[in-house]
Amino acid sequence: MFDSFKDITLFKKTNELNGYVTEFFDNLSKAGLLFEEVMEKYKGAKKKEILFELLEKTRKLERRNDQLRRSIEASIYRYTLLPEARSDVLRLLEKSDKIINQYEKILDSMAIELPDFTPFKKEEFSELVEKSVKAVESLVLSARSFFVNPYQVENFIHKVSYFEKAVDELAFKMKQALFEKKTLELSQKRQLKDFVEQIESLSDFSEDVSDSLVIFAMKRII
């Protein structure tokens, strides 16, 4: 058995890489916090200023993570990481990067369309956002464990699946209720359905990454 985390840290001799990876997943967490803030404060066209402000912050995080991915890739090949481990790390970062891209995509769509979310029950919409972000954050915790102590990965992975299922159930209920409303035009129903599915996809992306992460972690343990 290992005496300490540093005995099994993937990049235990490369502080540069550890710093890059830590910042990468910090930024993914920050993007989730920004997303929750937008959804809490945004009230349609009357509150579009907060949307544009937080969208720009999210874009900066996304651009920084693109830079970090390139830096991590370049650094990995300078050190003696096994080829298979290199591949796993790069695939993990590539898959995780899709999540922060999705945060940006949703906010971009909102900035263009300025949707009105009032047809949704406020509690349900808030819960959809909250649980979607929690799925991402559970993935972030799992990914951090992969680099420090792969034995801990499964302690967080199951939470990703839990939140993904909860989001799926809630999203279905919201879309069903949306199309039962007689007062909304079909075009508005379709627009709002699309936003629900975009938010829902955050947990789907998280589960997809977590499925791969389990395999990557098992390779390190065996």
Structural domains for the chain: 11-221 (1.20.58.220)
Residue 128's closest CA among 163, 89, 96?
Answer: 163
**For the chain, how long is the longest CA-to-CA vector?**
64
Give the torsion through C-alpha atoms of 127, 129, 134, 139, to 10 deg.
150
* Of 138 and 75, the one with more pLDDT: 138
Give the mean pLDDT of 92-109: 96
Cβ-contact 154, 214 below 8 angstroms:
yes
The pLDDT tens digits of the residues spanning 42-92 come to: 876 567 888 999 999 999 999 999 999 999 888 887 765 666 677 888 899
* pLDDT computed for residue 128 by the predictor: 98
The pLDDT tens digits of the residues spanning 2-27 come to: 333 343 355 555 677 888 999 999 99
Q: How many residues are there in the chain?
A: 222
